[in-house]
Chains A and B, each alone.
Chain A
Amino acid sequence: MNIVECTELRKTYRQGKVEVNALNGITLSIGKSEFTALAGPSGSGKTTLLNLIGGLDTSDSGRITVDGNNLDSMSQSELAVMRLKKVGFVFQSYNLIPVLTALENVEFVMLLQGIPSSERRSRAQAILDDVGLAGTYHRRPAELSGGQQQRVAVARAIVSNPSIVLADEPTANLDSATGSGLLDIMREMNERRNVTFIFSTHDRMVMEHARRLVLIKDGRVADDQRHDGK
């Protein structure tokens, strides 16, 4: 079964007096444990599609299901619960909570899920160790490098065992070496934990790491290729 099913998705934004057609009838399916990159130029609709899959936004028409849940019929509260249980996010600008430590940032999602504190702590420590951040538990984001912050974001995204992780330009603010290291970690998480990763990117390195590359152009799927990736 596909973890994400998008059928004829359309989305239009108003920017002042101008209407922008971000998505023009996208149809796309993504299977479980895929490592997929949505590539395309700026304004092609890849971030919009990611937002719709993650339940951060709603489409104007079309249908979208995530892990069997039809997002179109969900209220804002239900979408919030869906995001909490099934979706992990990795943002371009890390978006860590600045007043919490690395460990607390990772624990936060589990706190929202109601997981007891002892379990939260042990799982957070384990995942931080997995992403190579053992010993940085008690540092705040301002005390971490960009690459470390993004690894904390990855840890936060997967610690709650989501069905999918949506990563919007995760390497955009990183140098190539750091970005490559981050991709390796995410690839490992994908293989070891069978978590589906969907990237929005125009970074060639990310495209090369992906096992499936979906090219988005003018709000539609222009190309869809599968390959082994690095």
Chain B
Amino acid sequence: MFIVLSWRNVWRNPRRTIVIMTAVVIGVWCMIFLGALMRGIANQMVRNGISTLTGHIHVHQRGYRNDPVIENSIRHPDEVERALTAVCPPGSLWTPRVRVNAVASNARHSRGVTLVGIDPHREAPVSFIGTAVTDGNYLDPGDRRGVIIGKALAEKYETKLGWKLLVMSQDEEGEIASKAFRITGIFRAELESTETQYLFVTLPAAQEMLSMKDGISEFSIVLPDHDTVDEVTAGLRSALSAEQYAVHDWRELLPIVTEYLKIYDNFIYLWFLVVFIAMGFGIVNTTLMAVFERIREFGLLRSLGMKPLWIVREVLIESFFILFVGMVLGNLLGFLSIFIVSTTGIDLSSLAAGMEYAGMSRIIYPSIDIRDVLAANLFVLLLRLLVSLYPAIKAARFTPVEALSHT
């Protein structure tokens, strides 16, 4: 009957109860929806970073990251391939690349770019480029003259398929190496900066141009399970000579993204706290009103022999009911709005420049992380019950005589 009593007390003033419930619904909805949006942004940043060219893990010659020049190339890629075969779990994919800074120019324009020499077949399942070509053709493994460029770069250079592009860099001997490639494909990427930054040629074409023989700049590895990154990274560091090779995971390769993720994690919980505080004052105020209206009744309960702790429990159960209904509806609203938005995304093209700097896509999609949902619900439940303690204890502390004489 205590449960029945609490439930009926909740509905003594339906208007007030609905107001409090609405506050809880909106609060929980905001927490879940905006949390999913922020989580979606964070996940997209990671996905963009990994799929662009980073992968989960890179293996470089030691010194390459500090100075990405030809001299710091991996001379014996077979040695690294053997280690990768031994350490990486089944389902892992990896690909060799040449990656050097270069200058691309045509009759109209010239700018710094990154020349990437790839094995087209091995590269396709590892990075975005395998499915990114929208005009022309993807690279053929035997093609020594073709280049794929980004759509944004093509527009900047006012060039098109079939036209030539001169690429210059520094070769193994420290001499200027240059080659005229023919544009055989144009790719689209999530970020415009990717389209303007990278040119893709075949690995043999790059090695030939730069006189690298069999040398490569890096191996990029994609794992079947994102959560095994640490384990595989440690395994590769053990398997490869630390003096010769450096193994880095995506967090080290994308420090800005990593720092953003840390900020987002804290920001999400800060957001929860802000929403809760905004809700909390209103909830405490209305609960206090509900308690003060029933002082005489609490006096009656005490006079009948009800212990003060039971009165505290009654008020907390009432709070719990309001919370529970509000949370259920808030969660439903949250999931529904996420489902609706997830089909179209939210277009933030007007903020594109700023978004790109942070590695975010122009269109963001919410992403539900069950930990965020549980955290939001637990946050609301525990803190709400905590703030309800004050009015509950207040209700229990009136002496029967004080309470019964209250008008």
Contact = CB atoms under 8 A, between A and B. Distances in A.
Interface of A: 51, 54, 56-57, 76-77, 80-85, 89, 91, 95, 97-100, 104, 107-109, 111-113
B312 to A, nearest CB: 14
Interface stretch (B124-132, B138-146, B302-310, B378-386): B302-310
A100 B305 contact: no
B8 A99 contact: yes
B89 to A, nearest CB: 60
A89 B404 CA distance: 12
B349 interface: no
B16 to A, nearest CB: 15
B142 to A, nearest CB: 84
Nearest to B403: A56
B303 A97 contact: no
Interface string B1-29: 11011001100100000000000000000
- Name B's interface SS: helix
Interface of B: 1-2, 4-5, 8-9, 12, 296-297, 300-308, 399-401, 404
Given A99-B12, A100-B8, A112 B401 contact: no
A100 B404 contact: no
Contact of A57 (B2, B308, B401): B401
A81 B306 CA distance: 8
Contact of A85 (B1, B305, B400): B305
B304 A108 contact: yes
Contacts of A100: 1, 4-5, 8
Given A104-B1, A108-B1, A51 B401 contact: yes
A51 B302 CA distance: 13
The 7 A-B residue pairs whose C-beta atoms are closest, nearest first, are A84-B305, A99-B8, A56-B400, A83-B305, A95-B300, A57-B401, A80-B305
B305 A112 contact: yes
A91 B399 contact: no
Interface centre among A80, A85, A109, A113 (most CB of B within 10 A): A80
B87 to A, nearest CB: 66
Given A91-B404, A95-B296, A95-B404, A54 B303 contact: yes
B303 A83 contact: yes
Contacts of A113: 305
A99 B1 CA distance: 11
Contact of B297 (A80, A89, A97, A107): A97
A109 B306 CA distance: 9
A57 B399 contact: yes
Nearest to B300: A95
Nearest to B310: A112
Contacts of A81: 305
Contacts of A80: 302, 305-307
B5 A83 contact: no
A54 B297 CA distance: 17
Given A56-B404, A57-B401, A89 B1 contact: no
Interface centre among B1, B8, B304, B404 (most CB of A within 10 A): B304
Contact of B9 (A54, A99, A108): A99
Contacts of B9: 99
A89 B4 CA distance: 23
Given A57-B399, A95-B296, A104-B1, A89 B12 contact: no
B401 A109 contact: no
Contacts of B296: 95
10 contacts: A51-B401, A57-B400, A57-B401, A81-B305, A83-B303, A89-B303, A98-B297, A100-B5, A104-B4, A109-B304
Contact of B305 (A99, A104, A109): A109
A228 B110 CA distance: 120
Contacts of B5: 97, 99-100
Contact of A97 (B300, B305, B399, B404): B300
A207 to B, nearest CB: 23
Interface centre among B1, B297, B308, B399 (most CB of A within 10 A): B1
Contacts of A83: 303-305
B170 to A, nearest CB: 85
Nearest to A97: B297
Contacts of A112: 304-306
Contacts of B399: 56-57
A107 B1 contact: yes
A81 B304 CA distance: 9
Nearest to B309: A77
A89 B401 contact: no
Contacts of B308: 76
A22 to B, nearest CB: 11
B314 to A, nearest CB: 11
B396 to A, nearest CB: 11
Interface centre among B8, B300, B302, B308 (most CB of A within 10 A): B300
A192 B64 CA distance: 102
Given A56-B404, A99-B8, A109-B305, 20 more contacts: A57-B401, A77-B307, A80-B302, A80-B305, A80-B306, A83-B303, A84-B304, A89-B303, A95-B300, A97-B297, A97-B300, A99-B9, A99-B12, A100-B4, A104-B4, A107-B1, A108-B1, A108-B304, A111-B1, A112-B305
Contacts of A109: 304-305
Contacts of A111: 1-2
B254 to A, nearest CB: 59
A56 B12 contact: no
A146 B318 CA distance: 29
